[in-house]
Structure 1
């Protein structure tokens, strides 16, 4: 028998296109869309600028020069100065950290509270589902911003306090999304098979159900990131968020509003930054939803 006859056939062990990772498909679908690619690049640039702010910022964001108050755009002050002579470009760069950290805190609190309770209610149903659903309905009936203001009035102003309050406000929406998706997934045959072979409820929730509700959860999280940024900017505008001398886009908008006659263009840098960042989060969320919807229709 020849060597060619005894050689084992070469088997292509690469996964078929239909077997590739869903996360890789999602990422490829997002990159192929110009709008989502621009939004992703914009967010990544913000992350890089937030990390490199001490080296990129042209001046100290808290340094005051009253003699140079309301200075116009120039080579020394690229975006001018505010009422205290602080460099607007430097404060705008440092405020990116707040713009990214604040949504992460609030959405993180909402996920920690809403995901486990939504999974449990969607799987167990019955009395547990009824109690948790009534609690979230009660929270949804309250005006979100007013509820957050009430919490801040009790615990005091500050970034962490404001964002935790917003996370509690966001929790019902996360709970409803996770609960609805978990109820649909819980009817699938593989969940019944997992029960039949003796899998614990904990394993069923985190191994079999959570990965299959991740897509709508990710869409909701990205949308809430934009909402949280707007809420943080609004609360900082009212003086309840980031406290001086630290800068945020909301507090910069407040300063520009109070001095709109002396420096009418000072509202543009923080305002444009807020609009573009919220738009980027929304575009990413919409793209994830569209890509996942196209995949489900196949």
Structure 2
């Protein structure tokens, strides 16, 4: 005999479930999310997925086009460069420097910037106001220019580039977090929580943070895109990660001389950069809208 439920049960999904339902309604958002997740998996498993070493040269397969062309070879799925190195292997390993490293840099800069920005947002003393003005001055300098200045002082290299971009992103997180926290601090629901005796850490984490999450998510995605573009641009100019490390920006710079003979050596890293940045921006904007709809509902 089938079980019949005679009582109405009100469904109250969790906030994360509501966000996911709104995010899942957009086909473009889900497509970008799957692409981004695939790219992150490539970053993690690229040493296993790469068929060859990035420095291995094949003298009999120099400037070989991709395998889907008539002159291609299935042994080299995406062809080879002017030194006979496998393009697929270099793109896979290059994802560690072009996507994995920016994710790490944004994570470090966001933690530092959000903590400092939250403190500056709730403390209105002269000391913290002075710090705010200093960071506002630093924010007037574009992140790429600030990274160039730091690299000019410290020199080129993987660690110096990562440090320069991380430091250049911190003022942006401080500025955004400080303004968001300060704007929420004077609203009625925060004032009511303060009158109830809630501590400042509780107010920041449990009361204010859920309402400024869309702003922080948008800043995270923008900063990740900026970090990817900055590290690629610095490597393209010869000031970032140096060859023969297979970073996508340095691969683009090296392929300039061979663009007419082997255009795939420029198209492949360029398209990879474009798809990665577009996926990040679409996912970030869709997640921000989903969070805003949940907060406003």
Name the TM-score, length of structure 2 as normaliser. 0.87
Would the alpha carbon gap of residues 264 and 11 (structure 1) be closer, same or farther in structure 2, given more than 3 Å must change? Answer: closer
Equivalent position SS for 2:57: coil
Deviations 1:149-184 (A, max 9, x none): 121122222333223212222222222221222123
Q: Deviations over 1:171-206 (max 9, x none)?
A: 222222212221232123443344334433333333
2:93 alignment counterpart:
94
Shift of 1:129: 4.7
Give how far 1:243 is off. 2.9
Q: For 2:36 and 2:7, how far apart are their aligned partners in 1? A: 44
CA distance in 1, matches of 2:113, 2:50: 38
* Correspondence for 2:56: 63
1:195 aligned counterpart, secondary structure: helix
Cα pair 1:66 1:83 within 8 Å, conserved = no
Write the distance in 2 (CA, Å) between the matches of 1:120 and 1:80: 52
Shift of 1:67: 4.2
Gaps of 5+ in 1: 1-8
Counterparts of residues 134-145 of structure 1 (less than 5 Å)? 134-145=133-144
TM-aligned CA deviation for residue 234 of structure 1: 0.8
1:106 and 1:243 map into 2 onto residues whose CA distance is: 18
Gaps of 5+ in 2: 1-5, 67-72
The yes-or-no answer on 1:185 pairing with 2:176 is no
Say which SS state the counterpart of residue 64 (structure 2) adopts: coil
Q: Distance in 2 between matches of 1:213 and 1:278?
A: 24
What is the aligned length? 286
Aligned pair in 2 of structure 1 residues 236, 220: CA closer, same or farther (>3 Å)? same
User: What's the RMSD between the two structures over aligned residues?
Assistant: 2.3
Q: Say whether residues 1:23 and 2:16 are aligned partners.
A: yes
The Cα of 1:79 is off from its aligned counterpart by 1.5
Rounded to whole Å, the distance in 1 between the matches of 2:59 and 2:272 is 26
Shift of 1:128: 4.4
- In structure 2, which of residues 30, 51, 55 is the aligned counterpart of residue 37 of structure 1? 30
- Which residue of structure 2 aligns with residue 264 of structure 1? 263
Give the TM-score normalised by the residue count of structure 1.
Answer: 0.87
Displacement of 1:253 in angstroms is 0.7
Compute the displacement of 1:225 (Å).
Answer: 1.0
In structure 2, what is the Cα distance between the partners aligned to 1:277 and 1:293? 24
